[in-house]
Structure 1
Amino acid sequence: MKCNIVRRALVQGLLAAAAITAFPAGAAAPASPSGAQPQYGGVLTAILNPEPPNLNVAMQQVGTTQMVAGKIYESLLTYSFDLKPQPSLAASWDISPDQLTYTFHLQPNAQWHDGKPFTSADVVFTYTKILANTPRTRSLMRYIQDITAPDDHTVVFRLKERYSAFLYAFDIGGGVILPKHLYDVDTPLAQNPHNNAPVGTGPFKFKRWERGSYIELVKNEHYWKEGRPYLDGITYRVIPDAASRRLALEQRTVQQAWLQDIEPFDIPRVSKLAHINATQKGYEYWSTLHWIEMNEARKPMDDKRFRQAVMYAIDREFIAKRIMFGMGTVSTGPFHRNTRFYDANIKQYPYDPKKAIALLDEMGLKPDAKGVRVKLGLIPNPYGEMQRRIAEYTKQSLGKVGIVIDIENTDVGGWTTRMGNWDFDMAYNGVFQYGDPAIGVSRTYISSNIKKGLAFTNTSQYRNPKVDELFDQAATAPTDEERQRLYTEVQKILAEDVPLAWIDDTNYSTFLDKRVHDAITTGLGAVDTYADAWMEPK
């Protein structure tokens, strides 16, 4: 009963004014989340597209890096389908009455894949020396006074002030723990050889990476979770071609596809395959929102009338229905509809090219003899053919109102580098919202997160002091009611300013061969550890 009360309080923001232990240390896991009898053995083969730049999730936040690294590395917590914090490398945790001190009790038997013991020193080092400089965790570190390790299996986070989203910040993307003995070295982080040959604490160990072909992981025989993993390994096959990805799933040479692996027009066909299970569970924590970044350091993107015109000029309903085939729903603003404190009652931008033209005329962007008002570059999201078609449609739509677009193609590494370095006019992006707006939404809009060289920050360079103030207040507000009021106000301001052109809230599916069981067991879905996943023999 105590466990359930605490979990509810964490989600509702109504923590009792007393020190609380959220989960009992050493609690036994069920034999199988599905209740079926699991079997040992088998290698799960999954699609990998596109191939990630590297496997250090502290450096790379792209989805494919997180998916592979999530089997090798771990974080302190994971999250249930209803976004309640669950144990991972932290077996349990206590919260002080003033909600300023969080004490994590670590798994006592965890060790790194090279046999070195996992200790609290690894956690302190990772947060203070590595994650403090990353796009995701920089926002969290603003609220942290210090991080200490009273003993090898205890870590204490002391906050400067209450941070209502604190326990939502410990997923693998924002809270990956790296081995101190391999990263506390003179080699610069970006050049560390373990970025591409990772050593973690997770249920699977890195074996090899054949660039352009596959990444092979094998079972960690000394995993801290007793009896896990069930699988002998996981192989991620790089399959760039969409038709080949579908065919591999149909012919059962792969057993998993996720995110945008399957083209939208193929989804009805794949979903009907007798040997495939399709699920939309496992995306609750991510809640990806697609948008067009507009570099506000360049004209005419620095004028909100231009940004509003872009919103009016694009038929986002057409994109959602005719290009994404239901994999997306038209965005209503800066919060994905699955994100906490979402409010749809804000200014909307229905498809209306005449309004777009009127705004451009008002700005003085008159068309020349060829109907051209301005020429700009657009970098597509490099995640498959669907994103290419969305970029082409965007080019056509904006061209009709006199905004001539040059599509600039690049790979994942080039895409993140160019956005991080502000080397773009416009660029498509897909960003995870991570369950709570203080973690996944504010980072895109607050001016303190304008940092050149880091993708997935405020790369549009939008600045509004009132927005900064509201996000700060909402992050520390004591009740959900107060947070809702503040987040509603910030959504209304952003809807007027249009820092980005919000396109769609995603509705992704994961496709698994029916031989695979208990793979998707948390709100992190295919990114989580797969410690419980198992396969029936052929």
Structure 2
Amino acid sequence: MCGVGTDAAGLELSGRRAARASGPPRGSILERNTMEKRFTVKDFLLFALLIGLVVSVWFAIEQSDREYKELQTLNEQIKTLSNVQSEMRSTLSTLDRRLKNGVAVAPTTSDPPDVNDEPNTDDADSPFARLEAARAGDGFAEGDVLIDAFGTLLVSVTALTYKDAYGARIQNYVLESLAGRDPDTLEWYGLLAEDWTIDDNSANYNAWLDVKKSALDWQLQADPNVIDDHLQKLVAALEEADESVPEPGTPEAEALRAQAAEQWRDQKVQADKNRPPAMTIAFTLRPDVNFSDGTRLTAHDVQFTWELLNNPKLDAPQTRNFFDNVETFVALDDRTIRFTFREPHYLAFSMVAGFSVLPEHFYGPIDIEELNTTPGLLMGSGPYQLPDPRTWAPGKLMRLERNENYWGVKPALRGLVWLEIQKDVPRLTEFKNGGIDLFVATPEQYEEMIHDARVTDRTEPAAFQAVPSGYNFVAWNVERHGEPTLFADKRVRQAMTFLIDRHRIAEEVMLGHARPTSGPFDPATQQSDPELQPRRFNAKRAMALLNEAGWRPGDDGILQNAAGDDFIFTLTYPSGNDTYERVMLFIKDTLLEHGIIMQQDPQEWSIFIERVDGRAFDACALAWGGGAIEGDIRQMFHSSQIANGANNFTNYRNPELDRLIDEARRTIDEPQRMKLWQACHRILYEDQPYTFLLRRKSLRFIDKRFKNTQMVRVGMNDRTEWYVPTLQQKRQ
């Protein structure tokens, strides 16, 4: 084809030469006449028209450019005006609220100051004092959107029925509680409630209780068989857990009878209609609170929320169990509510002060089954809201919009967005490209990023240990399908802890950004027994314990029991986290070196939660968050929390621990209560229902355009206090 093309070109060139050769000679009269007639009047007019067209286009472009610049200026002015108007509305709202609360207004210049006026200190008690201080910050402006990312898939945000910390995080911006807690001082302040009264009747209750128990003791002496039902249940629990039942007449048998007697007494006490209330707490609601759709919030919404939570058909056992010590609740009028406690409880106030309120007009018409199965039913009175309180579903973008009907001081940021990026590397790439504004780093990423100028020029690093801090753990399931597992024997659980080298994990995997822990209580609190230190790696001690429990090496080096079964189990954990993978692989390799086969079972978050709720695992790795300053371990370790999908998902039972937890919760005297919590710590240290792994630091990077990001006692201040100066804003 190249040859054909070349030939054609050659023929064409020869033809032009032939034509030129047969024409008149150069410089002839014919050629000169042709050149003279080449530029005519018509050509001139066409040329002029072309020039005019070019000039017209140029003027049009210039005019368009000026209009575009003017439009940009106008948009900036509108944006600034919108911010000013929003700030004015917020200021007027704040002023109106202060006037309603009786706060004095400063005198005008024409009015002489009253020398007898006391300084106004009400601002310090305002639920929005920190936000109002932020509004006074340098360059404060409303606007912009913060984009974060979850490292897992969000399952549900429906109020009360959510399953994990991710759903709770979303709800914290939409729902509000009766009172809040200052993140620095930890002092309580009124939020939905403006005031409260506490009637501590624990002294009278305890006096009545002493008389009641004395009468019950007489009854028990007269008829020892009254505790037989309780004793039979305790014996059945021991048999079900494959533990030995003590022989009659032994100290162990007497201890079991004493426990049955205590349960019998408690049952009689709770059933006595003459029992006085241990404590009563009444709240007075603010008169000007409304939900995001503008409907007024009243005490009847609080009562509705309480009744909904206590509906046994609602799939909310964890939340319901938390409030089990509240005996009655009543709405006295539109603004007054009262909680009554069946016995003294050290967390009585924080329990009900943190109670989130739902709108009856929204949730009331919804069927219980729909609440249990629909993932996106969320409306509240908080500073943010879902664009549609009904239609969010897994797989959709999670975006909260600022509640423009908010009754309090509005936050500066107009939106909060969470992407779902399960892998660490893609999440880091998105952060470096500016697609997300906040990044929670792995230890390896953190150490690399703090030395990367491209990152530190745009972002601010933060490494902190919150108090109280959460902890990671491996939970050993002691029972599956009604049968004891490999881990029913506490010697096996102890051996597993000795074989997991937490100190090496803290240094080699976490790069020093974590510390081993010995139990559920933060070592910085008095609940923790300071004498109990995390067990060091000790293979010799571990193998001795396993030998006592009947596990010995087979011909291939794998441990076997008397029946010839290999020691093999599956460890289930959330997928998508590189640090989790490294820790699990570290544990697997160490156990294999000592004759134990561990199969890794990473699962997507929703499937993982289903496995945990259904107790369908051998062992699982998870973490509990920091929670309350003084934590309550009942939900995780009390035997009453095994059934109905509650949080004792290891099926762990210890009657003495149950007794100590119950006693600690109703002990108001703090020093005495701390002794009881430390006794709980010692039992858990001995029994090892969990191998308590690490307390990790939070490692974060935040885009520098966000101002007023502060470290506080509980970690980092809330995002409602952050803002972005106008010229640095990048999203609508």
Counterpart in the other structure of 1:78? 180
The answer as to 2:635 corresponding to 1:443 is: yes
Counterpart in the other structure of 1:289? 471
1:353 corresponds, among 509, 525, 539, to: 539
SS in 1 for 2:153: coil
C-alpha deviation, 1:58, in angstroms: 2.1
Counterpart in the other structure of 1:32? 133
SS in 1 for 2:552: coil
Structure 2 counterpart of 1:29, which letter?
Answer: A
Residue 128 and residue 477 in structure 1: after superposition, are their counterparts in 2 closer, same or farther (change >3 A)? same
Q: Deviations over 1:94-136 (max 9, x none)?
A: 2124361112222332222233222222222223322676354
Contact 2:317 2:645 in 1 (8 A): no
Q: How many matched pairs?
A: 506
Give matches, 1:97-496, under 5 Å: 97-98=200-201, 100-130=279-309, 134-169=316-351, 175-185=355-365, 187-189=367-369, 191=371, 195-207=375-387, 209=392, 211-212=394-395, 214-226=397-409, 228-257=410-439, 261-271=440-450, 273-280=456-463, 283-284=466-467, 287-297=469-479, 298-346=484-532, 348-373=534-559, 374-382=567-575, 384-439=577-632, 441-454=633-646, 457-496=647-686
State the alpha-carbon separation in 1 of the partners of residues 487 and 281 from structure 2: 43
Counterpart in the other structure of 2:707? 517
Consecutive unaligned residues of structure 2, counting only runs of 5 or more, are: 1-121, 203-278, 560-566
CA-based RMSD: 2.8
State the alpha-carbon separation in 1 of the partners of residues 311 and 349 from structure 2: 17
Residue 399 and residue 424 in structure 1: after superposition, are their counterparts in 2 closer, same or farther (change >3 A)? same
Contact 2:280 2:340 in 1 (8 A): yes
Structure 1 counterpart of 2:319, which letter?
Answer: T
Residue 450 and residue 24 in structure 1: after superposition, are their counterparts in 2 closer, same or farther (change >3 A)? farther
Counterpart in the other structure of 2:198? 95
Q: Percent sequence identity over matched residues? A: 23
Structure 1 counterpart of 2:660, which letter?
Answer: L
Structure 1 counterpart of 2:397, which letter?
Answer: Y
Return the index of the structure with the highest Cα Rg.
Answer: 2
C-alpha deviation, 1:153, in angstroms: 2.3
State the alpha-carbon separation in 2 of the partners of residues 533 and 262 from structure 1: 21
Contact 1:320 1:326 in 2 (8 A): yes
Contact 1:313 1:398 in 2 (8 A): yes
State the alpha-carbon separation in 2 of the partners of residues 141 and 300 from structure 1: 34
Structure 2 counterpart of 1:59, which letter?
Answer: T
Consecutive unaligned residues of structure 1, counting only runs of 5 or more, are: 1-21
Residue 195 and residue 278 in structure 1: after superposition, are their counterparts in 2 closer, same or farther (change >3 A)? same
C-alpha deviation, 1:62, in angstroms: 2.1
Structure 2 counterpart of 1:120, which letter?
Answer: A
SS in 1 for 2:507: helix
SS in 2 for 1:534: coil
SS in 1 for 2:460: strand
State the alpha-carbon separation in 2 of the partners of residues 55 and 520 from structure 1: 27
Structure 2 counterpart of 1:75, which letter?
Answer: S
TM-score (ref. length: structure 1)? 0.86
TM-score (ref. length: structure 2)? 0.64
Structure 1 counterpart of 2:457, which letter?
Answer: A
SS in 2 for 1:424: coil
Structure 2 counterpart of 1:224, which letter?
Answer: W
C-alpha deviation, 1:437, in angstroms: 4.8
Question: Larger deviation: 291-300 or 31-40?
Answer: 31-40
Structure 2 counterpart of 1:536, which letter?
Answer: P
Residue 527 and residue 290 in structure 1: after superposition, are their counterparts in 2 closer, same or farther (change >3 A)? farther
Residue 54 and residue 419 in structure 1: after superposition, are their counterparts in 2 closer, same or farther (change >3 A)? same
State the alpha-carbon separation in 2 of the partners of residues 365 and 284 from structure 1: 41
C-alpha deviation, 1:81, in angstroms: 3.4
Counterpart in the other structure of 2:85? none
Contact 2:571 2:599 in 1 (8 A): yes
State the alpha-carbon separation in 1 of the partners of residues 652 and 471 from structure 2: 18
Contact 2:327 2:341 in 1 (8 A): yes
Residue 179 and residue 424 in structure 1: after superposition, are their counterparts in 2 closer, same or farther (change >3 A)? same
Contact 1:67 1:526 in 2 (8 A): no
SS in 2 for 1:127: helix
Contact 1:168 1:436 in 2 (8 A): no
Contact 1:438 1:474 in 2 (8 A): no
The answer as to 2:721 corresponding to 1:535 is: no
Question: Larger deviation: 425-434 or 32-41?
Answer: 32-41
C-alpha deviation, 1:245, in angstroms: 1.9
C-alpha deviation, 1:478, in angstroms: 2.1
State the alpha-carbon separation in 2 of the partners of residues 384 and 41 from structure 1: 33
SS in 2 for 1:359: helix
State the alpha-carbon separation in 2 of the partners of residues 526 and 197 from structure 1: 28
Question: Larger deviation: 467-476 or 101-110?
Answer: 101-110
Query: Which has a greater percent of helix?
Result: 2
C-alpha deviation, 1:323, in angstroms: 1.5
Contact 2:371 2:377 in 1 (8 A): no
Contact 1:23 1:91 in 2 (8 A): no
Contact 2:144 2:414 in 1 (8 A): yes
C-alpha deviation, 1:235, in angstroms: 1.4
State the alpha-carbon separation in 1 of the partners of residues 581 and 534 from structure 2: 26
Q: Deviations over 1:198-230 (max 9, x none)?
A: 21211111127585463111111111113x121
Higher relative contact order (CA 8 A, sep 6+): 1
State the alpha-carbon separation in 2 of the partners of residues 67 and 211 from structure 1: 16
The answer as to 2:46 corresponding to 1:46 is: no
Contact 1:23 1:93 in 2 (8 A): no
Contact 1:51 1:64 in 2 (8 A): no
C-alpha deviation, 1:343, in angstroms: 2.0
Q: Deviations over 1:363-384 (max 9, x none)?
A: 1112322222211111023461
Residue 448 and residue 523 in structure 1: after superposition, are their counterparts in 2 closer, same or farther (change >3 A)? farther
Residue 323 and residue 25 in structure 1: after superposition, are their counterparts in 2 closer, same or farther (change >3 A)? closer
C-alpha deviation, 1:521, in angstroms: 7.6
Contact 2:128 2:408 in 1 (8 A): no
Question: Larger deviation: 31-40 or 503-512?
Answer: 31-40
